Amino acid sequence: MTPTLYWKDGFVEMLDQTRLPTAVVYQTCKDADTVARGIKELWVRGAPAIGVAAAMGMALGAQGLPEGREFQQGLERIGAMLISQRPTAVNLAWAVRRMQAFARSLEGQPVAAVKAAMVAESQRMLEEDAAICRAIGKAGAHLLPDGGVLTHCNAGALATGGYGTALGVIRAAVEAGRALAVFADETRPVLQGARLTAWELMQDGIDVTLITDNMAAHTMKCGRIHAVVVGADRIAKNGDAANKIGTYGVAILAREHGIPFYVAAPLSTVDFSMASGAEIPIEERDGREITHVFGTTQIAPDGCKTFNPAFDVTPAKYIRAIITERGAVAPADLHRLQDPDLDATPWLVK
Ligand code: MRU
């Protein structure tokens, strides 16, 4: 797989996903500000991947900080700056806080050692994320029957440390011998489905068919979809799940057609502090994303008003199961996974 981001010579190499699928270009991030720009401008995107990017941004930013109290204060400042780039995916704040806590745990050690340890920790988070995705895949593969699987946006290797969440479940099902025909919604306005999901699955030799977003209902009605699996940017305690704009509509369509709808995400995407999806902040992006096709060809009149929410919230009632690294659970049982010592087996969705 083409790596999403990695350390090289003390800097972070970030795959510029805005250039895919026609060019594979890496941006070299030499400081936390460039990482922040990459998050904002979608060089890197997808909840787990922006979490890992933020962790690397923290480690990069730490390199220039002085010793003493100013070191922790600097980490606070850089963390707040990184978190402010995108509000919906909770993994961003989760990763920043983890890096801050990690640095605090090393207080008293020489600052050079702390800086080196932060780089290593961010690398560990990347590797952990890939391993978690594999566990998600294993936990959800049995839920996908032979046949058509619809996915929305890109919740694949590109959006994570590797393997993917929704695409991880698809990959694991294919590895288990399932005959899947994946349908990828193009995912207006940024086209993550067309540009990224189709590219990623084709690279792996997994059968994928691209449809535009407004073809999902018809494709379901034709009997070509047997399950839907998507990722998430933040899941509230009650199982309401925020994901790429358009996901909510797909969930309603799936219910209407009697098709199971699954959400695959690591537990770091679950925000147990939020009782319901009503509390999830929804990012609104520049209207130019919808008045122009990919920033170039204008398709709306000059001065046309726009509303461009980047995410929507699918109510838990539409979700058959949330697939995590600790197993697949009904949304109503999600809160049980808050306890790290609990044996979740009795609640797993078979
Ligand atoms: O705006 P994006 O491309 O960052 O949105 C990404 C999604 O909505 C993904 O489905 C989600 O982050 C899960 S990625 C494993």
- The residue ranges of every structural domain in the chain are 5-134, 143-347
- What residues in the chain have per-residue pLDDT under 50? none
| Inter-axis angle of helices 47-62 and 111-140, nearest 10 | 170
pLDDT for the residue numbered 248: 98
pLDDT for the residue numbered 350: 73
Ligand 1 pocket mutation, candidates 90, 230, 244, 284, criterion most atoms within 8 A of CB: 244
- Residue 241, classed as helix, strand or coil, is strand
pLDDT for the residue numbered 339: 83
For ligand 1, residues with CB inside 6 Å are: 45-48, 89, 153, 155, 159-160, 165, 192, 231-233, 243-244, 310
End-to-end CA distance of the chain: 30
Locate 250 and state its tokens.
């797909």
Question: Structure pTM?
Answer: 0.96
pLDDT for the residue numbered 251: 98
Q: Long-range contact list for 8-14, CB < 8 A, 24+ apart?
A: 10/63, 10/119, 11/60, 12/53, 12/56, 12/57, 12/60, 14/38, 14/43, 14/44, 14/53
Dihedral of CA atoms 161, 37, 122, 72 in degrees, nearest 10, equals -150
Is 271 one of the catalytic residues?
no
Nearest to 42 by CA among 195, 176, 254: 195
CA distance 269 to 282: 15
pLDDT for the residue numbered 349: 78
How far does the centroid of ligand 1 lie from the alpha carbon of residue 265, in Å? Answer: 10
pLDDT tens-digit readout, 175-234 = 999 999 999 999 999 999 999 999 999 999 999 999 999 999 999 999 999 999 999 999
- The CATH class of the 5-134 domain is mainly alpha
Closest C-alpha to ligand 1, atom 8:
244
pLDDT for the residue numbered 294: 78
pLDDT for the residue numbered 344: 60
Side by side, the strands of the sheet bearing 270-271 are: 270-271, 234-236, 241-244, 311-314
Locate 111 and state its tokens.
């600052």
pLDDT for the residue numbered 147: 98
Task: For domain 143-347, give the CATH number.
Answer: 3.40.50.10470
CA distance 226 to 234: 25
